[in-house]
Amino acid sequence: MTNREEAMISPKFGNVPKSSARRRLGRLALAADGWRRWWPYYVMMAPGILFFLVFHYLPIWEARIAFEQVRIVPPNIWVGIKHFQVLFSSPVFWQVLANTLIISAMKMVFFLPVPIIVALLLNEVRGGSLRKFIQSAIYLPHFLSWVVIAGIFIAALSPTDGAVNNLMGMAGMAPRSFMTDTGAIRWVLVFTEIWRSAGWDSLLYLAAIIAIDQQLYDAAEIDGANRWQKIRHVTLPGIVPTIATLFILNAGMFLNADLNQVINLSNDVVRSKIDIVDTYVYRIGLQTGEYSLATAAGLFKAVLGTMMIVIAHFVSKRLTGKGVW
Amino acid sequence: MALSRKTPLERIEYAIIVSTLLLLVVVTVQPILNLLAISLSEPGKVPGMSGLTIVPDGLSFEVWSVLLQHPNVQRGIFNSIFITAVSTVIGVVGTALMAWGLSRPGLPGRKALFILVLVTIVFEPGIIPDYFVNKRLGLLDSYWSVILFKAVNAWYLIILIRFFEEIPKELLEAAELDGANPFQVFWHLVLPLAKPALATISLFYLVFHWNEFFRAMIYLNDQEKWPLQVVLRQFVIDGDKVAIVGANNASNNTGASQINLRALKAGMILLTIVPILAIYPLILKFFTKGTMSGALKG
């Protein structure tokens, strides 16, 4: 018996019609019956479904201009992969791709451990109100826009009256203009990312820590474990799945070096160091008007990004049981 | 814990842990307090102020009053509130309605709809196709181009579906047996039960739309329609002081031009954060709970 036949014998479907014609009729009747019962849900879902079709699926259709020559007088001409060839032979594109990967890698190495450490420290804080106070403060930047954060850091990193250079001045160091320093700007991206999200991300790990069985700590205590031994042998192993999940998911987002962050912290002096695929698409597309080339670059990133995140999802699901969705 | 004796070493450890975290608090909050101090100082005293101070030098509300009376800023405030309010209402209603259908296990086509939504999470063709869709629909330069950007957010939809799925089946079946149709069940049963979840995603939408600037920047040519984030960007990031100070004032060094630019920028940045600070207690309550339970459930 095939699966489908088995499914049709289930009590819900009643008797299995013998002939294929009757079977088809039966299915139609079922569908009609289903529709009578379910149409109100579809009425309620209609605005949402329409939204997804228009604002998420129509763009996929519009992306065909990556394969077309845009003409002022329509229709556009189909040119196949010409724009992709132009793209792949452009040194700027490879530079931009390299920047994206470098920035993502730097964030992965230097950002990811910070929220874990913050969560471990927070978990050691005993006073409930002290802990709440710290949490309330360090979660805040997560809810600020990158325009605001860039404004805050342009001020804080100012070579004349910014807090950082004031501190360096006290230590007898020469002032440095971080925002226009090609050697520093990528670190500015890493640091502002830490400033914005390390606090908030620690919440994910803290949730995992709180879920650890208290008996494990009690047992460790009876065995005479000190604070660090408990962290090493109980807490850390307990949050390894969370760490692994977030690490893999981050790997899946490797091509998203955060447009909003870069576009606000960038300027003409340092652009070559932090120009990423997204800012490149924006610049050549909407500022220079090379729509097809820009769309080709965007599609390249989208397809690669989709592959990476789907792989990340299944790797994560297999290793830790948790996926992207 | 309280009863266990603490060795001096443990006390020192604890002191190090707490001071590390307090240092983190200072690093997080000080830059914001510094801008607040600068914006509240007497504008004449701002030029010499250190980036480290958090105490205003003198006390003056001149910067804030100049900003709040400025037509560009006023329009920005209005636009931001309008766009955020409308898109949040649309978002919450659309998301709740769609989540209700998708949370019913027997819904025909449920799996296909899930795939329809999931695809949009993993595949984004980029800003240029988005731009052309808006152009084709005639939305460019209209508030709607910004309002409808991520109007129904796939992630928030999934959160709400998960929440609706937790509603006990017996309750829904009892209501259906009483002859309630799906609209009635949704309105009288599901929505009241889902209040905390709805509050959470309302805040998600609110914060998301208030902070959105990129789409507004590329879709809205007309400066009259710019939300506060774009006005802020033009002034502070692009350094276009004429926008705030005014061309006449800038060339004649009159009016707002006499006020220290650093103080004006500081005030403008803070002005943009005010609504976030105002709802921050709610954010802490609902976001934290939502994230914690989501992580626990996995």
Q: What is the pLDDT of residues B149-159, one digit of tens each?
A: 999 999 999 99
Same domain? For A63 and A181 the reply is: no
- How far is B127 from chain A, CA to nearest CA, in Å? 7
Domain boundary among A78, A99, A117: A78
Same domain? For A140 and A16 the reply is: no
Cβ contacts of A135 on chain B, cutoff 8 Å: 284, 288
Q: Which residues of chain A have pLDDT under 50?
A: 1-18
A130·B18 Cβ contact <8 A: yes
What is the four-CA torsion angle of B209, B214, B218, B220, rounded to 10 degrees? Answer: 30
Q: B39 is in which domain, residue-wise?
A: 1-60
Domain boundary among A60, A78, A96: A78
Q: Is the pLDDT of residue B165 over 60?
A: yes
Cβ contacts of A150 on chain B, cutoff 8 Å: 236-237
A51 is a domain residue: yes
pLDDT for residue A20: 62
Same domain? For B41 and B81 the reply is: no
B236·A147 Cβ contact <8 A: yes
Same domain? For B28 and B141 the reply is: no
Cα gap B274→B54, rounded to integer Å: 18
Same domain? For B49 and B98 the reply is: no
Q: A66 is in which domain, residue-wise?
A: 3-78
DSSP state of A80: T
| A 67-106 residues inside an 8 A Cβ radius of B | none
For A42, nearest residue in chain B (alpha carbons): B101
φ, ψ of residue B285 in degrees (nearest 5)? -65, -50
| B 54-83 residues inside an 8 A Cβ radius of A | none
Residues 6+ apart with CB under 8 A from A119: A202, A203, A204, A205, A206, A209, A239
Same domain? For A29 and A72 the reply is: yes
Same domain? For B37 and B76 the reply is: no
By Cβ distance, the residue of B52, B186, B213 closest to A166 is: B52
Cβ contacts of A144 on chain B, cutoff 8 Å: 211, 273, 276
Same domain? For B31 and B66 the reply is: no
Determine contact, residues A150/A266, Cβ cutoff 8 Å: no
Whether residue B221 lies within 8 A of chain A, CB to CB, comes out as no
Same domain? For B194 and B111 the reply is: yes
Same domain? For A30 and A127 the reply is: no
Same domain? For B193 and B137 the reply is: yes
Same domain? For B35 and B106 the reply is: no
Give the CA distances from residue A283 to residues A27, A83, A290, B214, in Å, rounded to whole numbers and listed in that order.
Answer: 54, 16, 9, 13
A22 is a domain residue: yes
Average pLDDT of chain B to the nearest whole number: 90
Q: Between A and B, how many residue pairs show a Cβ–Cβ distance under 8 A? A: 269
Whether residue B106 lies within 8 A of chain A, CB to CB, comes out as yes
A295·B128 Cβ contact <8 A: yes
Query: Which CATH number belongs to the domain containing residue B282 in this structure?
Result: 1.10.3720.10
Q: Please report the ipTM that was assigned to this predicted complex.
A: 0.92
B182·A40 Cβ contact <8 A: yes
Same domain? For A296 and A178 the reply is: yes
A325 is a domain residue: no
A90 is a domain residue: yes
- How far is A1 from chain B, CA to nearest CA, in Å? 24
Q: Name the pLDDT band for B27 (thresholds 50, 70, 90).
A: very high
Cα gap B272→B210, rounded to integer Å: 9
pLDDT for residue A17: 45
Residues 6+ apart with CB under 8 A from A192: A149, A150, A153, A261, A265
Same domain? For A47 and A142 the reply is: no
Same domain? For B48 and B110 the reply is: no
DSSP A193-239: HHHHHHHHHHHHHHHHHHTS-HHHHHHHHHTT--HHHHIIIIIHHHH
By Cβ distance, the residue of B17, B124, B127 closest to A124 is: B17
For B152, nearest residue in chain A (alpha carbons): A48
- How far is A169 from chain B, CA to nearest CA, in Å? 11
pLDDT for residue A107: 94
Rounded to two decimals, what is the model's pTM? 0.90
Give the amino acid at B245.
Answer: V
Cβ contacts of A58 on chain B, cutoff 8 Å: 133, 136
Same domain? For A117 and A92 the reply is: yes
Same domain? For A153 and A224 the reply is: yes
B31·A163 Cβ contact <8 A: yes
B213·A147 Cβ contact <8 A: yes
Query: Which CATH number belongs to the domain containing residue A293 in this structure?
Result: 1.10.3720.10
Give the CA distances from residue A272 to residues A96, A183, A188, A269, in Å, rounded to whole numbers and listed in that order.
Answer: 8, 11, 15, 8
Same domain? For B167 and B216 the reply is: yes
Give the amino acid at A311.
Answer: I
Overall domain count for chain A: 2
Domain boundary among B60, B77, B93: B60
A151·B265 Cβ contact <8 A: yes
Same domain? For B155 and B230 the reply is: yes
First CA to last CA distance, chain B: 30
A103 is a domain residue: yes
Residue located via tokens 């289903």: A34
Domain boundary among B20, B36, B60: B60
pLDDT for residue B292: 63
Q: Is the pLDDT of residue B230 over 90?
A: yes
Q: Which residues pair with A69 in a beta bridge?
A: A77
Same domain? For A157 and A258 the reply is: yes
Same domain? For A187 and A282 the reply is: yes
Determine contact, residues A71/A292, Cβ cutoff 8 Å: no
Give the amino acid at B239.
Answer: G
Domain boundary among B60, B75, B95: B60
Whether residue B21 lies within 8 A of chain A, CB to CB, comes out as yes
Cβ contacts of A152 on chain B, cutoff 8 Å: 31-32, 35, 269
Domain boundary among A36, A57, A78: A78
By Cβ distance, the residue of B10, B28, B34 closest to A138 is: B28
Same domain? For B8 and B136 the reply is: no
Overall domain count for chain B: 2
Same domain? For A248 and A144 the reply is: yes
pLDDT for residue B294: 53
Same domain? For A22 and A99 the reply is: no
